[in-house]
Amino acid sequence: MTSISDQAVPVAGRRAVRDEMIAFAVMTALLAVVPLTGVYPFFVMQGLCFALLACAFNLLIGYGGLLSFGHAMFLGTAGYASAHALKVWGVSPELGILIGTAAAAALGVITGLVAIRRQGIYFAMITLALSQLLYFVYLQTPFTHGEDGIQGIPQGHLFGFIDLGKPTTLYYVILVGFLLGFLVIYRAINSPFGEVLKAIRENEPRAISLGYKTDHYKLLAYILSATLAGFAGSLKVFVAQNASLTDVHWTMSGEIVLMTLVGGLGTIYGPVVGAFVIIAMQQYLAGFGQWVTVIQGVIFVICVLTFRRGVIGEIAHYFKRSL
């Protein structure tokens, strides 16, 4: 009996990794053939940016147990930083992405040091307050151009020879960026660091009693999540060719939470599905005007009542697979 129980965990672990790798291969293959299907590329590129953003948020709440209501500030800050660098300073696309991502990372350090001292609803409210503070700062700061935003951002040539002005080329660049960010998150989750995060989520006092500096781990998770959210914001600049206050507003943070919950909180692929579901609703229900928000609310209520684990969470639970 002892030998059987000793074998159970490794076998289950190998099966989980196999399931996740198969799912990754299927997801990559489906996304790679999108330009050949005639699907509107702007919609999919926008979905990829928000999918990475939702995955970054899920790393924080799904595995660290930290609910942030201010993740839009990282998306918007990176967008403004990249847009300003590209249009005003005339930097190359790769440098623009680095500047935007670095700005989000720096903001993550500053706000993390303030917010991480609190837990639960207090942490969520602090992140919301900081996000709204930045919203009003960006509204008044000259370089953001207020409500007009930064328009007409040049796409340029990545590494000097990849023309981002071509929709298909831009799509594959965004896809590669998404996959890289996704793999970083996957590696973080399936590392000793990720295991400590899960322990903190389940029982923080017990983790502290084992000698872990939980605030240190939570701060690192917060910064990593902010950095990847900023990376998504920098990529989004090349898709939309603008940076606006919409990306910093509290409603954007709400949409990020909605994407994660609809797809499946604490699942690897849930935020990706949730992001595409929400973006698809906004895209194809745009004709309903303000009723889109009401429809989203109804769908969210239905998902909460019928799919408590989210779409992917319920599928994974039903088939007893790791997704």
Residue 88 included in any domain: yes
Residue 232 included in any domain: yes
Backbone CA torsion sign across 67, 69, 70, 74: positive
Asked whether the beta carbons of 66 and 221 are under 8 A apart, the reply is: yes
Residue 203 included in any domain: yes
- Using alpha carbons, select from 182, 211, 214 the residue that is nearest to residue 198: 214
Other Cβ atoms closer than 10 A to 172: 16
State how far the Cα of 71 lies from the Cα of 207, in Å rounded to an integer. Answer: 26
- Using alpha carbons, select from 222, 265, 249 the residue that is nearest to residue 134: 249
How many residues are recorded in the chain?
323
Give the pTM.
0.91
The per-residue DSSP string of 278-294 comes to HHHHHHHSGGGTTHHHH
**Burial tier of 21 (Cβ tally within 10 Å: 0-12, 13-18, 19+):** exposed
**3-class secondary structure, 309:** coil
DSSP 217: H
DSSP 247: G
Q: Supply the range of the domain harboring residue 175.
A: 41-246
- Cα 201 to chain centroid distance, Å, stands at 19
**Predicted pLDDT of residue 280:** 86
Residue 148 included in any domain: yes
**3-class secondary structure, 154:** coil
Residue 32 included in any domain: no
Residue 276 included in any domain: no
**Predicted pLDDT of residue 78:** 96
DSSP 237: H
- Using alpha carbons, select from 86, 96, 103 the residue that is nearest to residue 138: 103
**Predicted pLDDT of residue 296:** 75
**Predicted pLDDT of residue 7:** 38
Other Cβ atoms closer than 10 A to 137: 13
Asked whether the beta carbons of 229 and 106 are under 8 A apart, the reply is: no
**Predicted pLDDT of residue 238:** 93
**Predicted pLDDT of residue 12:** 57
HSE, CB side, 13 Å, CA atoms: give it for residue 271: 29
Series of mean pLDDT values for 10-residue runs along the chain (323 residues): 38 72 90 85 91 94 89 94 93 95 96 88 92 92 88 88 89 95 94 91 89 91 95 94 90 89 88 90 76 78 78 78 73
Residue 102 included in any domain: yes
Residue 305 included in any domain: no
**Predicted pLDDT of residue 312:** 84
Tally of structural domains, the chain: 1
- Cα 210 to chain centroid distance, Å, stands at 31
The CA radius of gyration of the chain, in Å to the nearest whole number, is 20
